[in-house]
Chain A
Amino acid sequence: MKGYKIIVLAKQVPDTRNVGKDAMKADGTVNRAALPAIFNPEDLNALEQALRIKDNFPGTTITLLTMGPGRAAEIIREGLFRGADDGILLTDRAFAGSDTLATSYAIAQTLKKHGNYDIIIAGRQAIDGDTAQVGPQVAEKLGIPQITYAEEIQAIEKGKVTVKRRLERGIEVVKCPMPLVVTVNSSAPDCRARNAKLIMKYKHAKTISEMQEANDDYLHLYSDRPYLTIKEWTVQNIEVDMNELGLTGSPTKVKKVENVVLQSKGAKVITSSDEDMDQLMRELIESHTIG
C-alpha cells in the first residue's frame, strides 16, 4: 500500500503555562530565558494524528518542519523520538520579528520548495500567541483547503481525507481532497511517548550548526548515518522576497507593550476561621449579593 507524505508544522514555545515570578524583568519585558522551551502542546496532538496515519498506511513519511532559533532543533529530535522520519529547521535572522503573516509566508515558501506533501498537519494554535492564524494562512498561500479545529483524522480514501472537527457547540465531519492543511485541537488524543529504540537511533541527530559545536568523537557518525543530519534551511534554501519577511513583511506592528501592574483595590483580608466565614456569609446575605 502506498503511504502518504505528511508534513507536521511545529513550534518551540516558552512554557507560558508555568510562568514563575522571575518571568518578567525589572524593566517590564519578558525574561524568555526564565521560561522553559517546550514543544507546543497542540503541535504534539498534531504529530499524534500524523503518527496514526503512518501506523495505518505503511510507507507514510512524516517530516517535521519548524521555524525558530537554532535551539528549536530540540523539538525536531522530540519528533524523531516519537516516530517522525526527518525534520527541517528553518532558521535565519531575517525571520526575526515576523508576525503570523510573515511567518506563514516563510513556511509556505519552504513547503513549495520542499514540495511532495499530501497532508500538512499543525496544532490549532501556539500557547505563546494563541492566534490560530498560521495554519489557515499557510493553506491560503499554498492555495489548498484547510480543516481547522480537527479532533480526529478518521479516514483517507480515494484522495480524500475525512476529518472530525470539534467546535464550541458540537462536531462536524467533513471530507476534503488532498493536499490540505489540518489544524488539530487539544481535545485530540495526546501524543504517544518517546520510543526507546528511536531515542537510541536519533539521540545524536543534529543540525549542521549543532554539529560544528559538537564533540569531535561523534562526527564520523554523520557521514555513516545520513538520517542523523537534521536539515537546517535559511533564506538561501528557499525562494523568498525579502520584503515579505521579518518586521518589514509584517503588517501588524506592536505599538506598545505594558507590563501588567496590579494595584490592589483594598480587599478585606479574612481568614478561614469559623468566625470570619460566618461574618462573610452574613455580609453577603445582608447586601443581597446572595440569598
Chain B
Amino acid sequence: MNSVFVYIEIEDGQVAEVSMELMTKGRALATELKVKLEAIAIGYKLDGIEKDIFPYGVDVLHIADDKRLAPYSTLPHNAIVVKLFQEEKPQIALMGASSVGRDLGPRVSSALHSGLTADCTSLVIGDHEDKKADKVYENLLYQIRPAFGGNIIATIINPDCRPQMATVREGVMKKEILDPAYKGKINKLDVSKYTTDLDFVVEMIERHMEKSKVNIKGAGIIVAGGYGVGSKENFDLLFELAEVLGGEVGASRAAVDSGYISHDRQIGQTGTTVRPKLYIACGISGQIQHRAGMEESAQIIAINTDPEAPINSIADYVITGDVAEILPKMIKFYKANTK
C-alpha cells in the first residue's frame, strides 16, 4: 500500500521542530491506514540524522546528501522530491508550513498535478461519497483549515490526485516519540540521478539566520494584543504586564499588520500556536484564525471594549473595558498581592 511521506526540514544540520511534529502526525495516519511512514531528508552531512527520525516511527528514510543541497534551495529539493514521489507514489505527503514548505509544496504539487492544502489545523482520515459520480472514496485525508478571514472552517479533500498534500504550521501538531529504539531502513539516493545542472542556477550570495529571540511557544503566560490595543505605544503596557508576570508578549495578525509589533510574535493559524497556562487577550476580537493558535490555553482572560467579541466565547474571564485602563490596574494589584 502507498505510504505516508513527511518532508524533513533541516536547520543547521538538525531536524526542524515542525518536521518532528509532522512525523508524529504522519505515524498516527500511517498506523490508521495500515501503511508505512516514510521520510525524505535532503541536505549536506546528514550522517546520523536517522537517530533523530526513526524514533518517531519512520519505517523508511530516504536521504539525499550533497554539498549543493544545503542550505535549502527550491529547484534541487523540488527535483528530488518530485522524482522520488513519482517512484514511490505516496498517498499522503506532509510538509511544514514554513518558508521552506510553503516554497517547495506548491511547486511539487504543480509538477505532480496533485492537490495541496496550506496551513491545515487538523488532519483526519475519512470517507467521501460523490453522489453525482455515484462513487465512494474510502480513507481520504480530510485537510481542515479556517478560510475566508476565519469566518468558515473548510474541509478539503483530494479525491482523485495523489499524493494528498498538506502543509501544517509549527506547533499545531504535538510531537511525541513513538519508540526510542524504533528501527527503520535507510535508502540513500544518488543525487546525480535526481537532479541536473539546471537545478543549481540560483546562487546563494548571503545568508544570515538567527535563533528566534522571542520564545512565545514556550511561555507559560502570554499577554497578547490585537488591533484594539490601538498603538505601538499602548503595546508597552502589555510588555510591562508580561514582564511583571514573567510572561511573553504575543499579538494577533491585525496588530502585526498594523505595525504595532513584530511578526515573530504573531499567534494564530498563520503565526505560532501556543498552549500557555494563562492567555490574556487584550483588544483581540478573536477571529477563528487567531483562536486556532491559542484556544488550548489553560485559562483565558479576554479584555475588550466589545462585549460581543468572539474571543469572549472561549474566555474564562471577560473584562469589558479599555486595555489602557485595565492593564495598569492588573500590574498594580499583582504587585500589591505578591511578596
A interface vs B, CB < 8 Å?
14, 16-17, 19, 23-24, 28, 30, 99-101, 104, 127-137, 139-141, 145-149, 162, 165, 167-177, 186-187, 250-260, 262-265, 267-272, 274, 276-278, 280-282, 284-285, 289-291
Chain A residue with Cβ nearest B272: A168
Q: Is the CB of A251 within 8 A of B201?
A: no
A136 and B147 contact, Cβ closer than 8 Å, known pairs A252-B117, A256-B155, A263-B313: no
Q: Which residues of B contact A281 (CB under 8 A)?
A: 330, 333-334, 337
Contacts of B116 in A (CB 8 A): 100-101, 131, 133, 252
Q: Cβ of A268 and Cβ of B278 under 8 Å apart? A: no
Instruction: Give 8 pairs: A residue, B residue, CB < 8 Å, sorted on A.
Output: A101-B110, A130-B269, A172-B206, A251-B109, A252-B156, A253-B156, A257-B154, A277-B330
> In the complex, are the beta carbons of B152 and A104 less than 8 A apart?
no
In the complex, A258 Cα to B146 Cα: how many Å?
9
Q: Are A175 and B210 in contact (CB under 8 A)?
A: no
From A135, A137, A171, A186, contact of B257 by CB (8 A)? A186
Taking CB atoms, residues of chain B closer than 8 Å to A24 are: 151
**Nearest chain A residue, comparing its CB with the CB of B144:** A256
B203 to chain A, nearest CB (A): 5
Residues of B within 8 A of A276 (CB): 319
B106 touches A136 (CB 8 A): yes
A258 near B153: Cβ-Cβ < 8 Å: yes
- 7 tightest A-B contacts by CB? A16-B149, A251-B115, A252-B115, A272-B321, A262-B313, A251-B161, A133-B106
Of the residues B99, B146, B155, B206, contact of A148 by C-beta under 8 Å: B99
Q: How far apart sit A290 and B211, CA to CA, in the bound complex (Å)? A: 28
Partner among A16, A132, A264 whose Cβ is within 8 Å of the Cβ of B313: A264
Tell me the bound Cα distance from A167 to B333 in angstroms: 40
| A145 and B205 contact, CB distance less than 8 A | no
**14 more A-B contacts (CB under 8 A) besides A28-B152, A169-B210, A260-B151?**
A101-B116, A140-B107, A140-B110, A146-B103, A148-B102, A174-B203, A177-B201, A253-B158, A255-B142, A257-B155, A280-B317, A289-B278, A289-B299, A291-B338
Contact B202 A171 (CB under 8 A): no
Chain A: CB-nearest residue to B100: A167
Cα A141 to Cα B212 in complex, Å, equals 35
Chain B residues with CB below 8 A from A127, complex form? 149
Chain A residue, CB-CB nearest to B207 = A172
> How many chain-B residues does the 8 Å CB contact rule pick out?
88
With known contacts A137-B109, A170-B207, A272–B325 Cβ distance under 8 A: yes
B33 at the interface (CB under 8 A from A): no
Report whether A101 and B299 are in contact in the complex, using a CB–CB cutoff of 8 Å.
no
Q: Which residues of A contact B325 (CB under 8 A)?
A: 272
Q: If A169-B210, A173-B205 touch, does A277 touch B333 (CB 8 Å cutoff)?
A: yes
Q: Is the CB of B334 within 8 A of A271?
A: no
User: Bound state CA distance, A127 and B315, in angstroms?
Assistant: 27
Which residues of chain A are near B119, meaning CB under 8 Å? 130-131
Give the chain A neighbours of B316 by CB distance below 8 A. 265, 267-268
Residues A171 and B201 in contact, CB atoms below 8 Å apart = no
Q: Chain A residue with minimal CB distance to B287? A: A19
B136 within 8 A of A: no
Q: Is the CB of B161 within 8 A of A137?
A: no
Query: Of all chain B residues, which has the CB nearest A169?
Result: B209
Q: Is B310 an interface residue (CB 8 A)?
A: yes
Q: In the complex, how many angstroms separate the beta carbon of B14 from the nearest chain A beta carbon?
A: 13
Which residues of the other chain, A, contact B329 by a CB distance below 8 angstroms?
Answer: 272, 274, 277
B201 touches A168 (CB 8 A): no
Query: Which of A99, A128, A149, A271 touches B148 (beta carbons < 8 Å)?
Result: A128
**B173: interface (CB < 8 Å):** no
Q: Is A187 a contact of B263 with CB atoms below 8 Å?
A: yes
B103 in contact with A149 (CB, 8 Å) = yes
Decide: B208 and A171 in contact? CB cutoff 8 A: yes
- Tell me if B1 is interfacial: C-beta within 8 Å of chain A: no
Q: Do A130 and B270 have beta carbons less than 8 Å apart?
A: yes
B91 sits at the interface (CB 8 A): no
Most buried by B among A16, A147, A175, A281: A281
**Alpha-carbon distance between A19 and B278 when the two chains are bound, in angstroms:** 28
- B253 and chain A: residue at smallest CB distance: A17
Q: B209, A170: Cβ atoms under 8 Å? A: yes
Q: Is B98 in the interface zone, CB < 8 Å from A?
A: yes
> Is A262 in contact with B314, judged by CB distance below 8 angstroms?
yes
The residue in chain A whose Cβ has the minimal distance to the Cβ of B317 is A268
Contact A145 B202, beta carbon cutoff 8 Å:
yes
At the interface, yes or no: B128 with Cβ under 8 Å from chain A? yes
Asked if B2 is at the interface of the complex by the 8 Å CB criterion, the answer is: no
Q: Contact string, B321-339, partner A, CB cutoff 8 A, digits 1/0?
A: 1100110011001100110
Q: Is the CB of A270 within 8 A of B313?
A: no
Chain B: CB-nearest residue to A135 = B106
Closest B residue to A162 by CB, please name it: B205
With a CB–CB cut-off of 8 A, which chain A residues contact B338? Answer: 285, 291
Chain B residues lying within 8 Å of A167, measured Cβ to Cβ, are 99, 209
Residues of A within 8 Å of B103, CB to CB, are 136, 146, 148-149
Interchain CB contact under 8 A, A272 and B312? no
Q: A136 — which chain B residues lie within 8 A by C-beta?
A: 74, 103, 105-107, 110
Q: From A287, which residue of chain B is reached at the shortest CB distance?
A: B299
